[in-house]
Each structure stands twice: as structure tokens, then as C-alpha cells.
Amino acid sequence: MSNELQKPIIGFTCGDLNGIGIELIIKTLSDHRILEICTPVVFANNKCINFYRKTLPEVNFSSSSVKELQRLNPKQVNIFNCWEEDVTITPGVLNEIGGKYALESLTQATQALKDGLIHGLVTAPIHKKNIQSEAFQYTGHTPYFKDFFGVSDVVMLMVAENMRIGLVTEHVSVAEVAKHITKESIIQKLKIMYSSLQKDFGVDKPRIAVLGLNPHAGDESLIGAEEETIIKPAIKEARNSMLVFGPYSSDAFFARGQYEKFDAVLAMYHDQGLIPFKSLAIGEGVNYTAGLPVIRTSPDHGTAFDIAGKDKADANSFIVATFVACDIYKMRNGYKDMRSNPLRKMSARMLANAVDERIDENEG
């Protein structure tokens, strides 16, 4: 089957067992139209799925259990049992069990992604402190995937229908942010974003805006020198190979809707980018890890312990994360196809045109 027609196999991690992750998975995959665009496989445990299924009486969800990822049922939601033992689930409670099995799900799903057994992965929310262990010493999913796949750098790219915002620094304290803002780091993030916009989102010539670090983008060094000494030189150098503009004052940039003129925005730190993103994405934002050789998306929110197990979780962001993973899979395949053997493709088109001309001549 050709890449254009093949449905991608999309994996789903369960996240913290006591959070809203499994509820989101059930709500997302209960609409069987999802089976028209992908083959879902949930890395969890049947008993855990059934526990949350009972808390959602209005949701019509069905699935089948599989023991081998090579034998998935493309017409059903597949549950790959990552553990066999009974686990006590206590929705809304922060405990060791939630973190332990979130990591078990994540580890097996990520290995399957690396082995090519699934084509993309949607990760449910984890509690960043609760999941800490000898096997997981990261500030979140993004640096975990960076290390697992051995890439030099990635970009936490927040994606919505009306904007894309990447970050230079991610989960770094405000007191430490300025230390991580360097000319080299800005240029590297821009390169990753530019490549991702082309390969993953189909933007041929991306236009990227860069935000300043200080209020009013430094006001010509009156409020801070980073714009003049670091950010502007980075933008100038990046312009040798891409369309980059800025630095812009963050408050005016979003208040005036300037983000609508660009294909993506590079923010200097977490809240500078995520506060306007979550305010403007209207609950349908997606976190995408750009720069990986694989596809990983997630919703733009956390574990929401306060509403876990109460059938109150909004699945919109999780649903969109699933769609984005499928779209990027198709886009990447199309990108590769367009750029593979261009001479052969040109020859094939010329041959086809010649055949058409000959047919027209004969019919005439």
C-alpha cells in the first residue's frame, strides 16, 4: 500500500494513572470515525482502561487487547498491555503508583516508536515531579524525547490553527532564563523551526517572528541589552538562510495581532509564549516536539488532578493532538516523496505528456 493511502499507526501513552489521561483517550477514541484516519494503540492496561470507562457512562467505547504490535486490528482501538499486575487507581491523588506506570507506558511506547512499530505518538499528561526516578530525570517529555532519540536539540512547538509558537527555553526558572539566551541557541532553534515548518506543516517559505527578552524589546538597551547584543545579531545571521523578523515586544505583538502575519513565532521563555498561546488557541492547542526523527504530540495542558475521574475533562486538545500527529505523518511522507528522485519524476512526467500528445494525434 502506498504511503498516501496507508493509515498511520498512532500510539497513546496513558500519562499519570490518577490524572485525566485515560479519560481523554477514551473520549477521543470513542468516536469510531477516528479509525478512518489512523490505527490507534493505547499503551496501558485493560483493567485501567475499564476503570475509567465505568466513570464515563455516556461514552460508547470499545477496544480489543493485543499482545504483539505487529498484529494490530486496524478496525478497532487496540490496547497493548504494558503490565499485567493489578494496580490501585485513585483519581486525583498524587502518589508513587501514578508516576511509576506513567513511566512504564511512556518507555514501552517510545521504544515502539523508535523501532518503527508505530508511526506517531500522542502523550497524555504526566506529573513532572511524580514521575522522577533513576530512569526519568527530566523536566518533562521534551528533553526526554531529545535524549532518547539522540538529537542535539529540539523545539517545544505549540501548534494551533491560528498560530505556532516555539520556545528557546522550556522549563527553566525565570531567574535562569537570561543565562540560556545565546546567539547560538536562538539560531539553532530557528533552524529547527524552519525545517519543521517545511517538512511537517507544508510551509514552503516560512516567515518567523522573534520576540525580545525584555519589556519593550529592551527599548534600545534602556531596559536590557540582550536584544542588541544577542537577539539582533542572531536574527541578522539567520537571515542569510531564512525569513526571520524582529525582535518584537511581546505585549504589543500579540495585542495587535501581529502573530497572524507569520507562520511561527519564537519566544524566549515558557510563559512569554504559552500565556498568549493558551489564551488565543481556545482550548485546542497542541504541544509538538519539532526536530525529532519521529512524531510526538500532546495536549497543551497537565494532569488536572482536581477533575480526574469526574467526567469533566475536555478532550478537544487531545483530539486535535491526534489529528496533528496524523497530518504530520502524511505531510512528512509527501515532503519526502516530492524531494526523492526529482529527475526520475521529471522524466516520468515528460513521458506521460508525450504519451498524451501521441494519443491526441492519433485520435485527431
Query: What integer pLDDT is reported at residue 220 of this predicted model?
Result: 85
Alpha carbons 272 and 257: distance in angstroms, whole number: 15
Residue 270 and residue 317 in one domain: no
CA 34 and chain centroid, separation: 18
Domain co-membership, 176 together with 103: no
Assess whether pLDDT exceeds 80 at residue 3. Answer: no
Q: Which of 21-30, 65-74, 176-185, 215-224 has the lowest mean pLDDT?
A: 215-224
Q: Is residue 65 located within the same domain as residue 201?
A: no
Regarding whether 316 and 278 lie in a shared domain, the answer is no
Beta-bridge partner residues of 163: 160
Instruction: Give yes or no: residues 51 and 90 share one domain.
Output: yes
Residues 167 and 107 in one domain: no
Q: Do 60 and 171 share a domain, yes or no?
A: no
Same domain, 125 and 9: yes
Q: What is the pLDDT of residue 336?
A: 65
Instruction: Between 20 and 344, name the one with better pLDDT.
Output: 20
Q: How many domains, in total, are found in the chain?
A: 2
pLDDT in tens, 94-123: 999 999 999 999 999 999 999 999 999 999
pLDDT at 222: 85
Same domain, 5 and 121: yes
Is there a single domain that holds both residue 98 and residue 7? yes
CATH code, domain carrying 262: 3.40.718.10
pLDDT digits (tens, 9 = 90+) for 127-138: 999 999 999 999
Does residue 347 have a pLDDT over 50?
A: no
| Claim to verify: residue 335 and residue 362 sit in the same structural domain | yes
Both 24 and 108 in one domain: the answer is: yes
Per residue in 305-343, pLDDT (tens digit) is: 999 999 999 999 999 999 999 999 999 988 666 665 554
- Asked which of 268, 287, 306 is the last residue of a domain, the reply is 287
* Predicted pLDDT at 243: 98
Domain boundary among 251, 269, 287: 287
pLDDT of residue 357: 53
Residue 93 pLDDT > 70, yes or no? yes
- Supply the mean pLDDT for the chain: 91
Look up the domain containing 277 and give its range: 153-287
The domain boundary, picked from 266, 287, 308, lies at: 287
Which comes out higher in pLDDT, residue 318 or 345?
318
347 versus 86: which is more confidently predicted?
A: 86
